[in-house]
Structure 1
Amino acid sequence: MADEVQHLTRAFSGLGGLGVDEPAMVSALARWRGQPEKRSGFRKGFPGFFSSHGEMERCEEEYMLRLAAEFARLKNLVVLWAMHPWERDARLAHHVLHQHHPAAIVVEVACTRSADELLGARRAYQALYHHSLEEDVAYRARDKPYCNLLVGLVSAYRYEGPRVNEEAARAEAEALGAAVKSAAGGKLLAENGDVVRILSTRSKPHLVETLRRYKEIHGRRLEEDLSGRGREETTTLLLEAVLCLTAPAKYFSQVMEVALREGADEHEKDALTRVAVTRSEHDMDEIRAAYEEQFGAKLEDAIAARAHGHYRDALLSLVMGAHHHHQ
């Protein structure tokens, strides 16, 4: 009995983690039938969540909301997984624009999808919300220094062939370097015409080549020059756009790592579902490799250690795909 209570307590306090241990709860439902005193003992052992009121232990409001959110993780994952990718992206973007989530997700959708996937998401957005994605982005970000860049990113239909103009890439690497230097003098990088044009119109292979030239010319990676400028919103957004466009697997592995940290907030934890679902059929093997290279551990081990119950199993199935066999 004591260890049954312990097991259930552990299932409930998967709260700081991700998801809940459903099997433990389901087996308690069967075994504790007709034994209300067991549940009462269980509540008393949980003073942080159930406070005593005379003869009754009352469930704290905040705790109920948190538990509901942990149970909802699996449901949200399955609903996202079942959706058409265009609708999914449209809903993810709309959610950000209308619930004041970080603009990061809009950048992610705009910069890591193919030209046709992004076009599909924009068409789905219009069908669902009777506005264009770009007009909503322009309106929501109207007083932000990165407004033009963000509108440019979501409006892009990039060339996807392999052909790169070496001369233009070299010239644009120089232009980016000049923009980085002048931004130190107070001119904001995200408002620089060259920066906006290059990041919002050039093909991904062209940008990869431009960044290679940038390092050759300036001795440092553009990424390093950007991350040296502090963590304010505009810099973070620029850095994210550069990563999403030129090294998506690295970007996604970093998002997963943040989500799996002990102190991750709700937005950060939600990213685990989003990335597992949206990337499972695209570049998940590359993301796993990038995770291991950057963090010296396997992504699937980190998920198994931090997540719980059916939610954990669903994440592992998406992340491991064909490699995943239930133990």
Structure 2
Amino acid sequence: MGDISHDFEAVTKAFSGFGVDEISLISTLGKWHHEERKSFRKGAPQFFTEDDRLFERWNDGHIAQLQIEFLRFKNAMVLWTMHPWERDARLLKEALTKGPESYRLLIEVACTRSSEELFGARRAYHSLFDHSMEEDVAYHINGPERKLFVALVSSYRYEGQRVNDATAKSEAKTLGAAIKNANKKKPIEDEEVVRILATRSKLHLKAIFRHYKEMCGKNIDEDLEADLILKDTVQCLCIPQTYFSKVLDASVEASADENAKEALTRVIVTRADVDMKEINEEHLSRYGYTLSDMLEDRANGNFKDFLHALVARGG
């Protein structure tokens, strides 16, 4: 009974978490006879329900979840081998069709890519969908965030070293006033806030946010807790490693929905060649364990091994 108990544990673990442990499933399930499979079904109520005709049937919800888990490795491989422009275009298109819970992906693409990368994603979007990215964003998004999102995806920021410190200080005051008066008018609806966040270079924005902290005593993202869209925008523009480490940790929480879980693949694939080392360091500092530790604890099989390999690229 000891061996079969160990097998049951192995299969239960292989079916749990992100991805599936293909090798464990093949080596264990392949040798089980009818009675062993029956015993497993009776002993795994998290997977099986006893039917009113007295047989153990798969829980429909878990079948649907397993289908997702078996696909995680395939989806990660497909995303990794895509041209980055196509990848961003397809990710953004999917986010628009899913609704508001996926709009933070739009912020990621618009704010963490270089001007050339974002321009390339817009070109790919044209080619793939016969629409412009801007027109689809404007069509699908009807809330107060529409102007900001259209402006962000339309942006082509200056990437040189020049920063006008006097202008940065003045715009820090503008942002401070908008946030202070949020009870009268939401900052996301303020045209000057949208202009500053959507057009200024990232170096200029860092200067603005430095002046903001000197004037207001807090980092600007700390003052934006009531407006998560602006908070995510600010972090993606200037401290993406903070934003991505938080998204990754949220993706493996027990309460995470499928939309949050998908971020595990998306973030690791899209940042592996960019700033994975910085994200990993931030994650370790913030949560006390590395991304590799997180994957070892929560992921399975080929999916886990592939993400491990991408995280390791960051050094």
Q: TM-score range by the shorter chain?
A: over 0.9
Q: Where does residue 175 of structure 1 map in the other structure? A: 174
Residues paired across the two proteins, number: 313
Secondary structure of the 2:30 match is helix
Q: Does the 8 Å contact 1:5/1:42 carry over to 2?
A: no
Q: What is the Cα deviation at residue 10 of structure 1?
A: 4.1
Q: Where does residue 135 of structure 2 map in the other structure? A: 135
Residue number among 287, 292, 295 corresponding to 1:303 in the alignment:
295
Q: Does 1:62 align with 2:61?
A: yes
Q: Distance in 2 between matches of 1:9 and 1:131?
A: 50
Q: What is the Cα deviation at residue 178 of structure 1?
A: 1.0
Q: Does the 8 Å contact 2:272/2:314 carry over to 1?
A: no
Moved over 6 A (4+): none
**What CA deviation, in whole Å up to 9, does each residue of 1:108-131 have, x standing for no partner?**
100000101111111111111111
1:53-92 maps to which residues of 2 (within 5 A)?
A: 53=51, 54=53, 56-92=55-91
Secondary structure of the 1:31 match is coil
Q: Does the 8 Å contact 1:149/1:196 carry over to 2?
A: yes
> Aligned partner of 2:86: which letter?
E
Q: Does the 8 Å contact 1:179/1:195 carry over to 2?
A: yes
**What CA deviation, in whole Å up to 9, does each residue of 1:134-170 have, x standing for no partner?**
111111112x011101100000000111111111111
Residue number among 208, 212, 215 corresponding to 2:213 in the alignment:
215
Secondary structure of the 2:244 match is helix
Residue number among 239, 252, 270 corresponding to 2:244 in the alignment:
252
Q: Distance in 2 between matches of 1:317 and 1:305?
A: 16
Q: Identity percentage over the alignment? A: 46
**What CA deviation, in whole Å up to 9, does each residue of 1:184-243 have, x standing for no partner?**
3x201101011000000000111011100111112111111111x3xxxxx111100000
Q: Distance in 2 between matches of 1:289 and 1:65?
A: 35
Q: Does the 8 Å contact 1:249/1:283 carry over to 2?
A: yes
> Aligned partner of 1:52: which letter?
E
Q: Where does residue 51 of structure 1 map in the other structure? A: 49
Q: Distance in 2 between matches of 1:136 and 1:322?
A: 34
Q: Does the 8 Å contact 1:284/1:319 carry over to 2?
A: yes
Query: CA distance change for structure 1 residues 5 and 94 in 2, over 3 Å: closer, same or farther?
Result: farther
> Aligned partner of 1:109: which letter?
V
> Aligned partner of 1:123: which letter?
R
Q: Where does residue 121 of structure 2 map in the other structure? A: 121
Q: Does the 8 Å contact 2:277/2:314 carry over to 1?
A: no
1:151-190 maps to which residues of 2 (within 5 A)?
A: 151-184=150-183, 186-190=184-188
Secondary structure of the 2:20 match is coil
Q: Distance in 2 between matches of 1:198 and 1:7?
A: 59
Q: Distance in 1 between matches of 2:115 and 2:3?
A: 55
Q: Where does residue 192 of structure 1 map in the other structure? A: 190
Q: What runs of 5+ residues in structure 2 fail to find an aligned partner?
A: none
> Aligned partner of 1:188: which letter?
K
- Aligned CA RMSD, in angstroms, stands at 1.7
> Aligned partner of 2:28: which letter?
A
Structure 1 length normalisation: TM-score? 0.91
**What CA deviation, in whole Å up to 9, does each residue of 1:77-135 have, x standing for no partner?**
11111111111100100001112242100011000001011111111111111111111
Q: Where does residue 232 of structure 1 map in the other structure? A: none
Q: Does the 8 Å contact 1:12/1:20 carry over to 2?
A: no
Q: Does the 8 Å contact 1:125/1:131 carry over to 2?
A: yes
Structure 2 length normalisation: TM-score? 0.94
Q: What runs of 5+ residues in structure 1 fail to find an aligned partner?
A: 230-234
Larger deviation: 15-24 or 205-214? Answer: 15-24
Q: Does 1:21 align with 2:13?
A: no
Q: What is the Cα deviation at residue 15 of structure 1?
A: 5.0
**What CA deviation, in whole Å up to 9, does each residue of 1:269-303 have, x standing for no partner?**
11000001000001000111111122222221122
Q: Where does residue 277 of structure 1 map in the other structure? A: 269
Q: Distance in 1 between matches of 2:313 and 2:8?
A: 30
